[in-house]
Amino acid sequence: MTQKILAAAAGLEKVEAGQLIEANLDLVLGNDITSPVAIKEMEKMNVNGVFHKDKIALVPDHFVPNKDIKSAEHCKCVREFARRNEITNYFEVGEMGIEHALLPEKGLTVAGDVIIGADSHTCTYGALGAFSTGVGSTDMAAGMATGKAWFKVPSAIKFNLVGKPSQWISGKDVILHIIGMIGVDGALYKSMEFVGEGVANLTMDDRFTIANMAIEAGGKNGIFPVDDLAIAYMKEHSNREFKIFESDADAVYDEEYTIDLSTLKSTVAFPHLPENTHTIDEIDDIAIDQVVIGSCTNGRIDDLRCAAEILKGRHVAKGMRCIIIPATQAIYMQAMEEGLLKIFIEAGAVVSTPTCGPCLGGYMGILAEGERCVSTTNRNFVGRMGHITSEIYLASPAVAAASAITGKISGPKDL
């Protein structure tokens, strides 16, 4: 799928793995951390404006609302650049959300697109059958200036999904299982293609989560076939035309794996790598200090509904901090209208405005020395959420919510 999309974007009949190409871009994305660097690089190019004011998205979401003077200056830089260049898709506080949840919701990403973003989790949009990948700020600058980017065409790995997940098993468990199986470099610079009859048993939110964490296996991108569910999502959210690309029956893959979704258990990645996975039944008593439910990986409405179902009528453990972050304003509003926020607050959790905050150790939940956190985010590297001796356990919203109630790493069945 990825090779076909890249060939079309490069104006070529076909491409092969390892080939260097220059492709036309449908969208260039940046946030409040990466965009200022790109803007400064772009100024050095002496170009006159951006290639297309409608095909650039600037989403301040990491330190927003601003946590300090430095983050305020970063956002000011992005804001002024957006004004100067009349960027259509600049999202200010009050309308912004976590970028990788916001862009599909706003209809800016559709099947067949080629998208680069100066953020490593740009691979999220492969859930809609787009080629999307993270790049450095210099490549973002070149993309904003020219509307083009160069790529080395990746080879592919096929993940054949079969069966139906059992209750409480979500896309997070699927991708943590895969990363645990192949390792954090198991798909290095390769396209991770998720296919099979089991895909029909995954919601769009599940698919966004799986594609989002392709980078945690080293993948260049993650991508799903475009089925009726994906088409319905795009028609609901976007008025853009989309183009469906399908793999040939005889397409060549470096490796193929079959994963029976019905056999998967709740999975937790222990410190300090996403590949260090354990199923919930393998975990002894591990006391925790904090739970975070949110991020570009797991801050969507399905995630919040799951957490609310577990937290309803219960209360977080004494001394436990439970932080819940809806990924966009629309998700926040929907959660409010469905009564989810009331459930969270009555359970003793706090609800934040959309932000990446704690995921990258920015704010809204920094860990102190020796503290442990169960988080629905995507990375658990040393010092990722605060002090270098703190520990992050990556998990699904179901496990995170259950753990908040018990005060230790737990699954919903432990309640």
Residue 221 lies in a domain: yes
Condensed to tens digits (0 to 9), the pLDDT of residues 329-383 reads: 999 999 999 999 999 999 999 999 999 999 999 999 999 999 999 999 999 999 9
Task: In whole angstroms, give the CA distance from residue 191 to residue 199.
Answer: 17
Residue 228 lies in a domain: yes
Residue 370 lies in a domain: yes
110 and 12, same structural domain? yes
Looking at residues 283-296, what average pLDDT do you find? 96
Other residues' Cβ atoms within 10 Å of the Cβ of residue 143: 27
Condensed to tens digits (0 to 9), the pLDDT of residues 210-265 reads: 999 999 999 999 999 999 999 999 999 999 999 999 999 999 999 999 999 999 99
> What is the band of 46 on the pLDDT scale with cuts at 50, 70, 90?
confident
279 and 252, same structural domain? no
Check pLDDT > 90 for residue 206: yes
With a pLDDT cut of 90, the percent of the chain lying above it is 98
282 and 197, same structural domain? no
Residue 130 lies in a domain: yes
Condensed to tens digits (0 to 9), the pLDDT of residues 378-403 reads: 999 999 999 999 999 999 999 999 99
Across the chain, mean pLDDT equals: 96
249 and 307, same structural domain? no
107 and 191, same structural domain? yes
* N residues, the chain: 415
Task: In whole angstroms, give the CA distance from residue 35 to residue 13.
Answer: 34
What CATH number is associated with residue 245?
Answer: 3.30.499.10
For residue 129, give Cα distances in angstroms to 1, 172, 287: 8, 19, 40
378 contacts 213 by C-beta, under 8 angstroms: yes
274 and 240, same structural domain? no
Residue 358 lies in a domain: yes
Task: In whole angstroms, give the CA distance from residue 229 to residue 250.
Answer: 25
346 and 277, same structural domain? yes
> What is the band of 415 on the pLDDT scale with cuts at 50, 70, 90?
confident
Looking at residues 3-18, what average pLDDT do you find? 97
- Per-residue pLDDT, 241: 95
Residue 415 lies in a domain: no
Task: In whole angstroms, give the CA distance from residue 311 to residue 75.
Answer: 35
Confidence (pTM): 0.95
Nearest Cα neighbor of 218 from 190, 193, 195 is 190
Nearest Cα neighbor of 62 from 103, 109, 100 is 100
382 and 253, same structural domain? no
Structurally, the chain folds into a number of domains equal to 2
Residue finishing a domain among 212, 242, 259? 259
113 and 48, same structural domain? yes
Segments of 46-173 assigned E as strands: 56-59, 89-90, 114-117, 131-134, 148-152, 156-162
314 and 248, same structural domain? no
> What is the band of 48 on the pLDDT scale with cuts at 50, 70, 90?
confident
- Domain ranges, residue 70: 2-259
94 and 51, same structural domain? yes
